[in-house]
Structures are given as structure tokens and as C-alpha cells.
Amino acid sequence: GAGVSQSPRYKVAKRGQDVALRCDPISGHVSLFWYQQALGQGPEFLTYFQNEAQLDKSGLPSDRFFAERPEGSVSTLKIQRTQQEDSAVYLCASSFDSVETQYFGPGTRLLVL
Amino acid sequence: GNSVTQMEGPVTLSEEAFLTINCTYTATGYPSLFWYVQYPGEGLQLLLKATKADDKGSNKGFEATYRKETTSFHLEKGSVQVSDSAVYFCALSDRSNTGKLIFGQGTTLQVKP
């Protein structure tokens, strides 16, 4: 079946622009996670949804980062007033529930100039 | 807090050599342990996992054993191939929490023919 998909795959933004990154999880997966992966580093947790409820947003680096999953399926990660330090790959993962294996999307590579 | 430490890379081996990538962890409770692999130009893929002490995860000739006494989950393969060249990430999931993954920094493996 279809895996996790993310769009866009690449995004170039000027500093100060707002961006929106989309994640389509595997159908039926209750849990959805967002991670940020800086160049040469391992992914770092940003936020977690169980259905439409955002149960953990402890990893969001600032109040410029906002995520939603209004109908418990597709999720959007929004970054307002982007800064150069926001440049990274943003990964989305979904799982049947929080303790099961997470399946990752291909990521969105964000470059802020 | 929970953390994962991997041996630094890059690791360069000749084809058919024996591979070990060390991984140690710090965690409260009883985490699940994972190895994910990222091939060039592709997303993160689950390679293997273990959910309790003394469990051995295995896949594609790779193995790792969950060692609670040494808090380790070292990745091994008896005979590497050029196609194994990738970045390998060790990770843990705290099942008592949201199930978010905590990753090591990654180890790059390059296998030469």
C-alpha cells in the first residue's frame, strides 16, 4: 500500500517568509510525528498527534512553529517568519499507535536564504 | 533524560568485511530499540527492532541484541556489500511516554568493492 507522503519535497524560502509543509500518513494510522533533521545529525522530535489531538509539542523550537491535524489524517507543519536556522529536512512519520513501528516519509528539505 | 550515543563515522570497509556499529543508550523505564537506515537519496527505513531485554532483531543479514546490563544495541553484519553503504541510525522509543523516537547522530558506512 501507499506509504507516508510529504510535500513539497524541496522548499526554498526567503528569510521572513511563512512556509507550510504537508504530511499524508498511512491510511488508518492513529499516531503522527514530526521530526527535524539538521545536516549530518539524527532526527529530533518536534511534535506528536494522536488522531486530531496534539498530545506533545515539547520539541517545537519556538512559537514560530505550529502544527495541526484537524481531521485526524493529513497534517501540516507551519513555520512563520522563517530564519536561516530553520533550514533542515522535516520528516513526518506515522504509526498504527504510539508504541508501534513508525514509518517515515521522504521528508521536505527546507532551505531558508 | 533519554539519549542515544553511536560510534562516530564514517566507517569504511571492504566488501565481505565484518561490520559492527556501536550504540549505547540512557533511558528510564523499558524502551524499545531500533536501527533505521537511510540510503542515499531515500527516506528513513526501519532495519530492525527489539522490544525487550535479550531480544535479537534481525533483517537483511543485520543483527542487534538488546543488552540491558550494558545498555547497548550494537549493529552487526557478517559480510557487508557495496549496497549496504548508507547512514545508520540507532534510536529508542520510550513506550511510557508518547512513543517519540530519540535518535543517535548517525553513522555513515561506506563499503568499497
Looking at residue B104, what is its pLDDT? Answer: 96
Angle of CA points A62, A49, A44, to nearest 5°: 50
pLDDT single digits (tens) B86-95: 999 999 997 6
Q: Cell 550494558 identifies what position? A: B70
Which pLDDT does position A29 carry in this prediction? Answer: 94
Residue A40 to residue B106, Cβ atoms within 8 A: yes
Does residue B97 register a pLDDT over 80? Answer: no
pLDDT band at B96 (very low <50, low <70, confident <90, very high): low
Determine how β-strand B62-65 pairs with β-strand B19-21.
unpaired
Residues with Cβ within 8 Å of residue A50, at least 6 apart in sequence: A30, A31, A98
- Per-residue confidence at B84, pLDDT binned at 50, 70, 90? very high
Q: Model confidence over B9-68: pLDDT tens digits? A: 899 999 999 999 999 999 988 899 999 999 988 889 999 999 999 999 999 999 999 999
At residue A108, what are phi and psi to the nearest 5 degrees?
A: -115, 120
Peptide bond into B10 cis (omega under 30): yes
Q: Which of B44, B47, B87, B96 should one mutate to test binding to chain A, selecting the residue with the greatest count of A CBs within 10 A?
A: B44
